[in-house]
Structure 1
Amino acid sequence: MDTSSSTSAQKQIFILSGQSNMAGRGGVDRQKHWDGVVPPECSPDPSRVFRLNARLDWEAARVPLHYDIDTKKTCGVGPGMPFANAVKEHIVGAIGLVPCAVGGTAIKEWARGGHLYNNMVERAKAASRGGGGELKALLWYQGESDTSSARDVEAYKESLETLIRNVRSDLNSPSLPVIQVAIASGDIKYLDKIREIQKGIDIPNVVTVDAYGLQLKEDNLHLTTEAQVRLGCILAQAHLANFKCE
């Protein structure tokens, strides 16, 4: 792990996980190029906001946060930076972001023992190792890939609840806050069913925010840059309103 004076500061650590709308496709066009536009709410703050890179080293956080994690797709603006910049105004110290999201992934691919789940847990443990900081929350935005079949819908609730229990157990954090996003897009056939399940999760310290109504890109799947900024602020408001900040 990086031990330089700036990046070794005690951090409040947030896991960013799920699929493409968490990884961020804001500003990415159909030719798979990111336009490079960084809204003010996503500006880097090298002294206070850090990301754990794919090598498990801390570095200054910059958009796109998932460039070396979600490597099979082009990443752009996601909710992570606006979230961090909003939360930092209410805490003392630094924020550490742990990007783990991978586009196009179904909930079954996040089962314990699989690569995605194991990588997420390994990265979260590495982030807090050696007094590097305290795990504060898992930010979870996933479900679009589970809107295409009745079988996926039927299994979704149990899979999501099991994921939450497993993450808390494996990170030795039985009450780890989880802020999940109710999806705004997907196959229309089962979109409402997945949203209903997500909004109906009743587990202590699990809060759901709703992405419905946020602007989608032309693909009707991914949030625009402006919508990602708004979502990041919504996630920050949910965290500040529901969980302890220091």
Structure 2
Amino acid sequence: MSSSSTESFKQIFILSGQSNMAGRGGVIKYTDHHHHQHKKWNGVVPPQCQPHPSILRLNAHLHWEEAREPLHADIDHRKVCGVGPGMAFANGIRERVSGTLGLVPCAVGGTAIREWARGCELYENMVKRCKAAAVESGGGEIKALLWYQGESDATAHDADAYKGRMEKFVCDVREDLQSPLLPIIQVALASGDEKYIEKVREAQLGIKLPNVVCVDAKGLKLNDDNLHLSTEAQVQLGQMLADAYLSHFDSCST
């Protein structure tokens, strides 16, 4: 596999969902001299999340650039972003897959799955970014969608509808990206309203569509807010996602 066309070939991965995919690892609260509370990222990048020349990111302006934390800074721009699972995932697979890796961050904090339905702004923007990623890479292939979302659906009103909405999302994304068996790796929730989280997790773990696998974040360390994964937990999650991709979907690794 040493031809120049293979070396420039991009394998594209979509990162989507809500805040835990966008990344809040290392986001800390502080109080300014007016006694106002703010948040900022502590700037700590673990070794597993370091940039690498073979890992690129599609920025908000639809251009490829070297990927670095926080991956979602210009995408989930209304919130303070920190470390998510994307860089640890990319570093976890880059030695096992050929060519350049392209990450397409699309996650936005605090969003419910109904906001990711076909026709809604978040969904349409994600599809637009994915199509642009393939064009801008000169023929790169979208290899998988990594999805971490559902905390906003752990409510009396939405938990029961999650499974149907998620299945519809999978089918719509595959149709719109003309990839009927696009691999989807979803994350089962680590946090959310205790009364309803199990209903959403049950849906996530129970989806039986082909080429949809689930990794379970339950038990991973949370920040003090008890909602967002810590930096250390995001590294672990990225490695779990990498293992899931390599074991289920990467033909070179079997």
| Contact 1:86–1:236 (8 Å) recurs in 2 | yes
Check if 1:147 corresponds to 2:154.
yes
Q: Deviations over 1:41-96 (max 9, x none)?
A: 00001x20000000000000000000000011000000000000010010121100
Check if 1:37 corresponds to 2:36.
no
Match in the other structure for 1:116: 122
Check if 1:14 corresponds to 2:10.
no
The one-letter amino acid paired with 1:114 is C
SS at match of 1:33: strand
TM-score w.r.t. length of structure 1: 0.94
Q: Which moved more, 1:126-135 or 1:72-81?
A: 126-135
Q: Which of 136, 142, 146 is the equivalent residue of 2:143?
A: 136
Match in the other structure for 1:50: 56
Match in the other structure for 1:81: 87
Match in the other structure for 2:237: 231
SS at match of 1:89: coil
Shift of 1:9: 2.8
| Contact 1:90–1:245 (8 Å) recurs in 2 | no
| Contact 1:140–1:179 (8 Å) recurs in 2 | yes
Taking a change above 3 Å as real, the CA distance of residues 61 and 132 of structure 1, as seen in their structure-2 partners, is farther
Please tell me whether Structure 1 or Structure 2 has the larger radius of gyration of its CA atoms.
Answer: 2
Match in the other structure for 1:23: 22
Shift of 1:132: 3.7
Distance 1:16 1:120 in 2: 9
Shift of 1:245: 4.4
Shift of 1:225: 0.2
SS at match of 2:8: coil
Runs of 4+ in 1 over 3 A off after TM superposition: none
Distance 2:58 2:235 in 1: 21
SS at match of 1:229: helix
Residues 158-237 of structure 1 correspond to what in structure 2 (within 5 A)?
158-237=164-243
Distance 1:9 1:86 in 2: 19
| Contact 1:215–1:224 (8 Å) recurs in 2 | yes
Aligned CA RMSD, in angstroms, stands at 1.3
Distance 1:18 1:63 in 2: 17
The one-letter amino acid paired with 2:151 is E
Count the aligned residue pairs: 238
Q: Deviations over 1:176-235 (max 9, x none)?
A: 000000001011110111101100000000000000010001100000000000000000
TM-score w.r.t. length of structure 2: 0.91
Distance 1:128 1:192 in 2: 36
Q: Name the % identity.
A: 64
